[in-house]
Amino acid sequence: MKLRACDPARDRAAVYAICLETGDAGQDATRMYRDPELLGHLYAGPYLALEPELASVLEDGAGVCGYVIGALDTTAFERRLELEWRPPLRWRYPAPSGEPASWSADQRAIQRLHDPPAPPAEALESHPSHLHINLLPRAQGRGQGRRMIGRLLDQLQERGSPGVHLGVLARNAAAVGFYRALGFVELLRRGEGANEAIYMGKGLRLPR
């Protein structure tokens, strides 16, 4: 498998597809969404547009089968999201109305676009960077995730980041175990029930 820099124009469709096919706590969320691009707009597209130099894709003979993306400075990244990324999408996807308990998966995703959760402020001073990684089943369990995260951690360290954090649903036990094996530790939790999220962090040695 080849790990290479992401070409946003060339790889966007594949990255969006992987985001959807891993969008249900690591499982395929295709059946849940009428608009197949919504999860990509939320969780992948901003990184390809705003910090493409920190995006990498994993590719095999069948095509792109994984990606890792990140932001060097989460606070600055959030500002750019509000100024550059979210406004046209909010115009395209009006905020849902009615009783939230009756919303579809699409409507819940659109609401996150209009009212995004704040980054974990408690983690940002020591772990200002953040990352996302997703791999299709055919690429899992082969050491590729470790390789991909290693590449991004090196890039963040070279750019002077003291630490990186990520969020994962508590019910995604496999992912939580994977991050712990890579040296990530729990920083805090948010939410409850099926939506409980764990924020995990890893310190980075600054280059001398």
Q: What CA–CA distance (Å, rounded) separates 208 from 205?
A: 9
Share of the chain above pLDDT 70, in %: 99
Complete domains list, the chain, with CATH? 2-203 (3.40.630.30)
Q: pLDDT-based confidence at 39, cuts 50/70/90? A: very high
The token pair at 84 is: 């550059």
Q: Is 44 within 8 Å of 81 (Cβ atoms)? A: no
What are phi and psi for residue 167, nearest 5 degrees? -115, 140
pLDDT at 195: 83
Chain centroid offset of residue 114 CA? 18
What's the mean pLDDT in 18-47? 96
Predicted model pTM: 0.92
Q: Is the pLDDT reported for residue 207 higher than 60?
A: no
More reliable by pLDDT, 190 or 55: 55
Q: pLDDT-based confidence at 36, cuts 50/70/90? A: very high
In one-letter notation, the amino acid at residue 151 is R
Q: What is the pLDDT of residues 102-155, one digit of tens each?
A: 999 999 999 999 999 999 999 999 999 999 999 999 999 889 999 999 999 999
pLDDT at 7: 98
Q: Is 111 within 8 Å of 96 (Cβ atoms)? A: yes
What's the mean pLDDT in 51-72? 98
**Of 31-35, 112-116, 182-186, 188-192, minimum mean pLDDT range:** 188-192
In one-letter notation, the amino acid at residue 200 is M
Q: Is 170 within 8 Å of 180 (Cβ atoms)? A: no
